[in-house]
Every structure is written in C-alpha cells, then in structure tokens.
Amino acid sequence: MRHDAIDILDPDLYVSGVPHDRFDELRRRAPVYWHHEPGGRGFWAVTRHADVLRVMRDAELFSSERGGIWISDYAPGDMRSSRDVLTDMDPPRHTRYRSLVSAGFLPRIIAAMEPYARTLVTEMIDRVAERRECDFVNELAGDLPLRIILHLLGVPLEDRDKVLDWSYRFLLGGDPDQKDAVDAYNALIAEMMAYAERLAAERRAKPREDDMLSLLMGAEVDGEKLREVEFGLFFSLLLSAGHVTTQQLIALGMLTLIEHPEERRRLAEDRSLIPSAVEEMLRFTPPAMHMRRTATRDTELGGQRIAEGDKVVVWFVSANRDEEVFADPHRFDVRRTPNEHTTFGRGPHFCLGAALARLEARVVFEEILRRLPPMALAGPVVRMRSNWLMALEQMPVRW
C-alpha cells in the first residue's frame, strides 16, 4: 500500500474495527502525513507517539481555539465552531475556565465516589445475573457512568433516556460524516442549554451545595459570572464527556477481555492487576481516536514543514501502538508497565475526568470478575460508524 494514498478518514473503515495496518504503515513511512479531505482543505495526520505528545503539550504553537477540535471547518454560527466550549479554548482563557470545574474532580471527591459507584454496579449486576445474558453496552457498561454524571450534576434520574440521547449527539457533532447537520446540532445545543437553565432556576429556588451545577452557577471568571452560553456549554460537555467515553472504555475493555481469555483469567486469579488492566484497555482501545489542533505559525514536525493555519490531527489510536514506545504493541497485556498511553491527552487539555473514569472502570471490573463467570459473545458486535469515537452500539453476551 502506497503511503501517499492511505485513507484513515472514511468512517466506513471503522465499522469492522480500527484499520491498524494503515496506521502501522504511516508510522513507518509517513508519521506526519498530508491527508486528503473530501470537501475540505486537507490536514496533517500525526501518528507517532513523540509527535503526538509534542502537539498536545504545546498549546501556543498548536491551538485548539483557532480552528476547534474537529477535523472539519465549520462556518461562524455553527455551534460546532463555538469557542465557548472548554475543549476549544487555549490558555490562559482555558486555564481560567478549567479551574471553575476542577474543584469537582479533586482526588478526595473522586475517592468519596467509590462506595456509591460500587453500590450502583452491584445493582446493575443484580438485574442481569440470573438471566445469564444481556447487552453489555447498554445494560452493564453504560449505567454506572451515566448515573455518576447525573449525580454529580444533580440531573433527575427520570431524565436519563433524554440525557443518553443528547450525550452521543453532542460528542458526535464534529464527526466528518455529520457535515450537513448544522441546524440539527444547533437545535441540540439550544435544547441542552435550555435544560441546563431550567435546572439552574430550580437551584436558585432551592439552593444546593453538593453538585457541580451549583458550582458552575456560582463560578466567576475575571470577576464575572458565566454567560448563559458558557454555562450551557459547560453543562453539555460535562454531561456528555463524563458519560459516553467511560461507557465505551468499559464496553471495549470487556470485549477485549472476551477476545483475550488468557488475560481475563489472569485478572480473575489476581484482581490486584485490575488497575494496570484498565490502563491497558485505555491504550488498546481509546474511545476518542483523534483530536485536531491548528498551527499558529510556520513550523516543522516529523520532518515536514507545517504552515501557519494548517490543520494538525493527532491520532491517539496510532500513538498508543507505537513500536518505539510499546513492546509488542498489538498484544493486549494486563501486566504492561510502564504504560505511557495518550488516551487522556497531555498538556493543558489533559482529561479532567481521568481519575473518575479510572475509578469507574476499576470498580466495574472488580465486581464483574468477582460475581460473574467468564462471558462469551452471544451475537454480533455492532460498532459505531465513526472515525472519531471508537464505540460499540451493541454487544450481546452470555455467561
């Protein structure tokens, strides 16, 4: 396969799994690769671990705010181009806004969530244990992160189905396959923002001190409260990112264990390996596969001249299998250490919810391995058609 003709953008390539052979070829022959973009101006695909880290750590040279985090360019007025989303801000603005919600993710607060998380997982397993089969994605993987984020934001449990729908639509808005969805996405954002404001009105009538929504309502940046659009987008991002990616970490992790029964047996025999197994799941199947930056001036990366304004897309899914960093990178090894995966990013945009995601995944696998026999697939796995979110829509299992 010629490296100057490799396509890693087409969502159809990901329906049956990640095309790792293409990423292997790019890392070997063109680690910073000019990629054609149908209907767009093209972008640099960055596939090696060292180059991905360089881009993610240097927010001054590789900007989130200048072009956003999606590969596609969106016109003004399209909410996918909004710079009021935390992920689309650069320091120092990003630093100030990130501090607003970081208090809700302090280590002591995350640690205090464990008993609640374990109770929820116990309830989940109780509902399906006697049936000896379920759709793992929707009945086991998704419930814990959804319930946790609803709890943190103070969202009523009866709204969970609506929130579930919103979460995926929000996070998939920048998928290249959604280019013609401007009105639909803007309407989604408006709906989520109106919902956030209704909850805020309830808090103003009956103040609470124990949820992140109240924290956002009282937050100030440079002496001013969040504007309505900033408040709504903060709420939308926390609601979506706090649920979807962790659900998929758990679902993809279980699929990987099913496909690697020897590693699953090791975990069952020694559950002290579960934290390192979670890190290996993060490396092996990162839910967010890429992220875009924009060059703020002419520079060089991986031997290529990058022009100011060029789109630079880092591919975590490739960096996590870089042969120069990971021994036998296509092998799933629950004992792998060190494990310098890029799944949570690096630099100023390092994932705010990383510790919470790790805790949730650890608790889920501790309880499933303790209470349920080894699982097997009970039907075909349905993957999402996306080059951005590595996600399973259905995974029927039995035990």
Rounded mean pLDDT of 345-350? 96
Under DSSP, is residue 247 helix (H, G, I), strand (E, B) or coil? helix
Q: Which of 24-33, 76-85, 88-97 has the lowest mean pLDDT?
A: 76-85
Q: Which of 44-48, 148-152, 258-262 has the lowest mean pLDDT?
A: 148-152
Rounded mean pLDDT of 149-161? 88
Which stretches does DSSP call E strand in the chain?
A: 32-35, 43-46, 62-63, 133-135, 220-221, 224-225, 290-295, 299-301, 304-306, 311-315, 376-377, 382-383, 392-394, 396-398
The mean pLDDT value of the chain amounts to: 92
* Residue of 66, 72, 4, 68 whose CA lies nearest to 34: 4
Report the run of H or E that residue 189 belongs to, with start and end.
Answer: helix 182-205
Q: Note the Cα 367 to chain centre separation in Å.
A: 23
Task: Label residue 205 by pLDDT band (50, 70, 90).
Answer: confident
Q: What are phi and psi of 335, to 5 degrees?
A: -100, 10
Rounded mean pLDDT of 45-74? 96
Paired sense of beta strands 396-398 and 62-63, if any:
unpaired
Under DSSP, is residue 177 helix (H, G, I), strand (E, B) or coil? helix
Give 207 or 92, the one with higher predicted confidence. 92
Q: What is the pLDDT of residues 363-374, one digit of tens each?
A: 999 999 999 999
Q: What is the pTM for the complete model shown? A: 0.93
Task: Label residue 271 by pLDDT band (50, 70, 90).
Answer: very high
In order of start, what are the domains of the chain with their CATH numbers?
3-398 (1.10.630.10)
Paired sense of beta strands 43-46 and 311-315, if any:
parallel
pLDDT of 383: 97
One DSSP character per residue, 145-156 reads HHHHHHHHHT--
Q: Is the pLDDT of residue 187 over 70?
A: yes
Task: Label residue 230 by pLDDT band (50, 70, 90).
Answer: confident
